Structure 1
């Protein structure tokens, strides 16, 4: 007692002397500066993650502290003096190195919460059995092999967390415990302890991630239980008695081996949430449709092939999770679930949605395991582009379909890319014309060449991308879905050191724009290689490509694990400062999780083999290449049919016909007028333009204040613009003998030299010089302004401050900087 009193009663002089014992950040004065008042009005001292190996003595004199946070330190003991904190209500000592707790903690009269998870505790002081104020005891991730005898005797204990220990059973004395919430997950239980049934006030039981293979029949004798969590166990069958839990509100049997539910489950009239994700259900249990109280249903990752029409009985349902099943269609009755906010259908076999699907007006945008998720289906109506654009795009599409009618359209593109000199153009000529015509060195493709190819009654657009380094930035503008991406490289010149240059960097560039791109690998100049060399290089390239892909997937999974770790640890306050996701806002974490999930599920379709060809007279491999391309494009899983509203198809046809005109682009007002001719109001026009932009038929940048006023109905014209700016013959072009600099730029020879020097040495281009480059493409002021904004949009150029412009330059004084 004398020790205790020495901390409590001190004269003013003693207090002043005590303050001198420690200085720096652990003095009494400095510690008090760390005080903060919680929203509940409690005084908190947060010493989390301060590297403490022992408690500063001044802490024991802070008698006004009500919440003390010592988590994420290196403490091996707390000390008997802790009992001097007479007003202490909440103590956090998680993630330290404690092997015991001081018995004196029981003398803190107001201590209501003790959080000591992630230490090395294996027992509690006997004195704890006399604790009357403790309501929350959190001891997860310690070394308990049996439940301390003191726990059942804590008369006011309501919440006990012993997750992630080594418990195998519970003492019979637990029948006297008044605990409401008991968390026993991640222990070594093989059976459900019978004593749980005798706990008079138990409402929530968590035995997840244990080794339980069955539930006892007496499980039904728990009159007050509201929540059962047996996730990640080995349970195959549920006993019929589980249907006698009259108060049950939540059932969680995630990742077990359950193939069917007991019929009597429909009697659980208070059930609000059920989770049977990751089991072996082959049908959606019809009994579930009779539980009108349900609000959240999770049957993700099962084998469900059919969704009952009686799903409409679940009028209160706000979340229905059915991802990764085998569902081919949705019943029209699902449209009656007007309270739905979350509907996850990723990874099924859906091709279309019910026409009245937009009746689900409360559906949210996709986020972490919530909102509308239609990813990884074979969607035709709406098309995948629309589904991926969010719930409002889906609704707009369906409303337009009902106003007009559905029309099936076919689009097939072949994108051919690879390093300069790989033989792309020669290969394309051999494909298109069935004969050899080798491209000469001065016939290299600049930016992009487009061809139309008709074979076996099918019509394709073939895009031949220039391979020079300066064109890599512009290539990204033309990568789209619904295309076979043909990566071409010279197998004769290939060596392991060239993998990134010839293959890896191109795969990365394409999948950055189209994550689930379909890739076809073609090695050219096979006539210059031996069969053995071809075989060796084929095996080496395919193996390296797969290794890189495996590494990417592993990295994404690791990031997702860290995200889940942060989410799971957040409730314990464990990961602050130790997990980079923990500091994010909910919105940021949601967006990051969504992007990671998309990256994981949208993986490229990598080639399982490689085609080797020769574009010389023999045309070796060319017939196989043509056959393979046709197989790819006719595969409905890779390239599903597309159904669009007739009005959208009519608008696309009008825009296509207008390509015969001289304009490089149309104003938005011109397109509004054009849309009116096919019955589209301006409000209904916007979803149509968004869709046509997504599939690459037009370019419309509604997020750009200036560019949204223009619709680029001839994307191929951008090729001419980029060719004019990103020239391979720049040295030949930039001569004063080229009269464009006098005729268009009105430059003197001296001005020209300055302009040329600034451009070649520093990438600086005046708008006047840009007008000279574009003189044969678009030289009027409006076009020039649009081009400048396009270049900025794609980050192909940046505007330098006017102050950096040299006086005397012809045209506008502002300078553009072209990094490439």
Structure 2
């Protein structure tokens, strides 16, 4: 009300989530006001006199409908994330003492010239904006990179080179390879720059023949229209689940995705594995992904059958999207209801939804749900029927892809301006003479000098090329930062080798040397068997498999470091110093482990856990994935945790290990039915006085998983702490406490919490809250 102006001494005013659409002018007369919370409302502008609140130290305008950056608050920019701001005022670059700038989730495309001058900004959040200038990849790296880009642009000729990443995905035998060849040969263009299998081109007009699909992931360039300068880099993903552990690396923002369905083989009952699963997978990795649906083998369907199948796919996609959106809307409503309660009330009863969860964590949770709702996949049209026999259909699909690529609203990043020196650097890295597997930092620096980049300016250019998927450069990795992996096609060939589950193919690679005797051939056969059963290989056999890609010991060591960094394998017996006896280093590839559970003898004292039930308390953190469990996540996670554990034993779905002397178990349980979620849990045990040791054991593993899950910004999952009393009773459905409590300090004065499943039992607070809050809050993106 306007009468609020009478509260002259008011210092703190919290109006979060109250549905305000406008603020009264009287608010501007509260001269003593120091803290004002206005997040989660419907504000489109601030009152003209807002700048008169001179004592204001804390202001939050997150999650409103602001279309412009409010001029009155320029001197004290508050968090204005999740609004509709389209641009920043030029005068913002004059705020040299600015330390925090939270702008994520707006509609900002261009940052003001000189923005890089804000060198004191340490808290910088800009993701989920349609940034063109500087490019999104540069902005995400931080203010120093923005400064380097703007300086480079100022004294370098700008260059415009539209180049779009085109990704073909779908089930095995969906017809991806034939579709790609028909598209590229329509214009007489076919320039393959990387493929595991160099197959001959099938002539156009023979689509009815069964075509043996390509093996592994393939990448190639396609100049679709030389006159318009439209170039695609085409990635054809494998339909074989064996490649799941690496395929997600090739799903990135700013690409056009073609989801391919074999219409001849399609039946409505198999919609989810054929289409729905891929949309969930893509949406969880690349929110707001642009998808074009293509139905192949159209010539093998009768006209009515073709129409019915296309309509069914279109209808079921709409149904799946509706279900997902309604589910997320329901979650937003639940969070809103919880935010409407007083925090003390939420903490008073374990029966309450979001028991004990702070307002800050709830607002973060709501912002994540809103983000998922606002970034649904962009499915461009109904299914486009396609047959290589029908040249009109080939041309229509080709024209469709070109028109989408040129659409400024769909792909604004293709029309951005880059410094000419950055484009030259990219071209120099891909010259024929630079086709070795990797370049040293100094080799790359010499190419930088040719492009006109000094060493201090090279870092930003390489970082941009890495973030935009042109090459790999790990600037924060102790070993890998000395190298630039510029030859992606050869790297993909190497990755394909380790996803190849065909013993015959692997043996052919190992037996390519004609001088191998029978005894040696038998040994190699045993190595392949061990690899396909247990995922184990010694380094010297890995080197044989990678011929001719790996020429030297340095090549091999670098590739192994890279595979470990990507989460494909880890060294089982890595020595702390160089072994004196020359023992072979063995590597474990978790995605190959066949046994569902580890060997029983590995779980020392594990079997006696039930016998110790009166003294031992169980600690278990469970991650639940209602929509999709990221393909390959468990295998990658098992690599990431290796540096934290000892005496480990791996199964396909479980890992037994120790952190020091404390046992830990990591378990993955696939969904048991359509309505059941996949779960991944991290557990340990200790006596109550020593429960801090169990927390110490599992906390680094929880934080490692949280970091890995940040690669999936569109993924919905929940985290819970399971009730130790329920676990001790052997309850099939133990009570779950909210995972957000892991990132909150233990409440003062609280020693026990009632278990809602059994009101007579009380759980010690040390079994729900860790001694120290985790670094990354679960479910935060």
Normalising by the residue count of structure 2, what TM-score does the alignment of the two structures yield? 0.63
Compare CA radii of gyration and give the structure with the larger one: 1
What is the match of residue 115 of structure 2? 357
Shift of 1:774: 1.5
Q: How many residues align?
A: 563
Report the Cα offset of residue 525 of structure 1: 1.2
Q: 428, 444, 449: which one pairs with 1:671?
A: 444
**Within 2, Cα distance between the matches of 1:811 and 1:229?**
65
Q: Does 1:373 align with 2:145?
A: no
| 2: CA distance, partners of 1:568 / 1:400 | 52
Q: Following the alignment from structure 1 to structure 2, what is the Cα–Cα distance between the partners of residues 501 and 637?
A: 31
Contact 1:420–1:467 under 8 Å retained in 2: yes
Alignment partner of 1:255: what SS?
A: coil
Query: Cα distance, 1:561 vs. partner?
Result: 6.5
**Structure-2 residue corresponding to 1:796:** 568
Aligned to 1:650: 424
Displacement of 1:483: 1.4
Conserved? CA contact 1:576–1:582, under 8 Å? yes
Question: Is the deviation greater in 426-435 or in 405-414?
Answer: 405-414
Indicate conservation of the 8 Å contact 1:665/1:714, yes or no.
Answer: yes
Question: Is 749-758 or 630-639 further displaced after alignment?
Answer: 749-758
Q: 1:526 to 1:426 in 2, by over 3 A?
A: same
For 2:9 and 2:521, how far apart are their aligned partners in 1?
93
1:324 has 2:97 as partner: no
2:289 is the counterpart of 1:514: no
Shift of 1:706: 3.0
Aligned counterpart, 2:406 = 634
CA deviation map 1:621-660 (0-9, x unaligned): 3233122212221122221122334443333232233x53
Determine the C-alpha separation between the residues in 1 that align with 2:477 and 2:366.
27
Counterpart Cα distance in 2 of 1:685 and 1:732: 41
State how far apart, in whole Å, the 1-side matches of 2:351 and 2:47 are: 43
SS in 1 for 2:138: helix
Native 8 Å contact 1:404 1:647 kept in 2: yes
Alignment pair present for 1:530 and 2:325:
no
Deviation at 1:692, TM superposition (A): 1.1
Deviations 1:109-144, CA, capped at 9 Å, x for gaps: xxxxxxxxxxxxxxxxxxxxxxxxxxxxxxxxxxxx
| Aligned residue runs from structure 1 range 709-728, under 5 A | 709-727=482-500
Per-residue CA distance 1:280-332 (angstroms, 9 max, x = gap): 76655443345444445555666655557x648x53x141527433x443221
Q: Secondary structure at the match of 1:515?
A: coil
Q: Counterparts of 1:544-563 in structure 2 under 5 Å?
A: 544-553=316-325
- 1:446 aligns with 216
Q: Distance in 2 between matches of 1:385 and 1:286?
A: 36
Q: Note the alpha carbon deviations across 1:185-233, whole angstroms, 9 max, x for none.
A: xxxxxxxxxxxxxxxxxxxxxxxxxxxxxx3x6554445444556666x
Please list every run of 5 or more consecutive structure 2 residues that lacks an aligned counterpart in the other structure. 187-203, 576-581, 593-781
Match of 2:165 in 1: 413
Instruction: Find the aligned partners of 1:339 and 1:576 in 2 and give their Cα distance.
Output: 45
Structure 1 regions of 5+ residues with no counterpart? 1-214, 233-253, 366-370, 804-809
Structure-2 residue corresponding to 1:84: none
Single out whichever of 274-283 and 711-720 deviates more from structure 2.
274-283
Q: Secondary structure at the match of 1:412?
A: strand
- Matched position secondary structure for 1:380: coil
Q: Secondary structure at the match of 1:415?
A: strand
1:660 match: 433
Distance 1:218 1:779, change over 3 A: closer
Asked if structure 2 preserves the Cα contact closer than 8 Å seen for 1:422 and 1:524, the reply is yes
Secondary structure (helix, strand or coil) at the match of 1:321 reads: coil
Instruction: After TM superposition, give the deviation of residue 815 of structure 1 in Å.
Output: 4.3
Q: SS at the partner of 2:276?
A: helix
Structure 2 equivalent of residue 705 of structure 1: 478
After superposition, the C-alpha distances for 1:26-63 in whole angstroms (9 at most, x for unaligned) are xxxxxxxxxxxxxxxxxxxxxxxxxxxxxxxxxxxxxx
Counterpart pick for 1:288 among 43, 50, 58: 50
Taking a change above 3 Å as real, the CA distance of residues 675 and 415 of structure 1, as seen in their structure-2 partners, is: same
What's the offset of the Cα at 1:734?
A: 1.8
Counterpart in the other structure of 1:436: 205
Shift of 1:270: 3.6
Report if the CA contact (8 A) 1:375-1:388 is conserved. Answer: no
Deviation for aligned residue 1:485: 0.4
1:602, distance to aligned residue in structure 2 (A): 3.7
Q: 1:630 to 1:550 in 2, by over 3 A?
A: same
SS of the residue corresponding to residue 436 of structure 1 reads: coil
Contact preservation (8 Å) 2:339, 2:359: no
Could you tell me whether the CA contact under 8 Å between 2:405 and 2:411 is conserved in 1? Answer: yes
TM-score between the two structures when normalised by the length of structure 1: 0.60
Contact 2:346 2:353 in 1 (8 A): no
Q: CA deviation at 1:470?
A: 2.3
Residue 104 (structure 1) aligns with: none
Secondary structure of 1:488's counterpart equals strand
Give how far 1:605 is off: 1.6
1:621/1:222 CA distance change after superposition, 3 Å: same
Q: 1:612 to 1:665 in 2, by over 3 A?
A: same
Could you report, residue by residue, the CA deviation over 1:233-287 in whole angstroms, capped at 9, with x for unpaired residues?
xxxxxxxxxxxxxxxxxxxxx52343x754x766554444556667776655443
Residue 493 of structure 1: how far off its partner (Å): 0.7
Distance 1:519 1:634, change over 3 A: same
Residue 383 of structure 2 is aligned to residue 610 of structure 1: yes
User: How big is the shift at 1:681?
Assistant: 4.6
Q: Secondary structure at the match of 1:719?
A: helix
Kept after mapping to 2: 8 A contact 1:429/1:437? no
* Cα deviation digits, residues 378-430 of structure 1 (max 9, x gap): 32112122334445544554454456465444221211121221111221222
Out of 751, 758, 777, the residue aligned to residue 549 of structure 2 is: 777
How far residue 665 of structure 1 moved from its aligned partner, in angstroms, is 0.7
C-alpha separation in 2, matches of 1:670 and 1:681: 13
User: Of the two structures, which has the highest relative contact order with CA contacts closer than 8 Å and spacing of 6 or more?
Assistant: 2
Contact 2:119–2:144 (CA under 8 A) maintained in structure 1: no
> Residue 655 and residue 474 in structure 1: after superposition, are their counterparts in 2 closer, same or farther (change >3 A)?
same
Asked if the contact 1:411/1:482 (under 8 Å) is kept, the reply is: no
* Structure 2 counterparts to residues 72-91 of structure 1, below 5 A: none
**Aligned partners of 1:740 and 1:772 also within 8 Å:** no
- Structure 1: how far apart are the matches of 2:169 and 2:552? 33
Q: CA RMSD in A?
A: 4.0
2:664 matched residue in structure 1: none
Give how far 1:523 is off.
0.8
1:736/1:749 contact within 8 Å kept: no
2:766 maps to none
Cα distance in structure 1, aligned partners of 2:62 and 2:357? 27
1:254-333 pair list within 5 angstroms: 255-258=19-22, 262=25, 268-273=30-35, 285-296=47-58, 305-307=67-69, 311=72, 314-315=74-75, 317-319=76-78, 321=80, 323-325=82-84, 327-333=85-91
636-645 or 596-605, which moves further after superposition? 596-605
Cα pair distance change 1:545/1:736, threshold 3 Å: closer
Where 2:347 maps in the other structure, the secondary structure is coil
Say whether the 8 Å CA contact 1:318–1:341 is kept in structure 2: no
Secondary structure of the corresponding residue to residue 759 of structure 1: helix
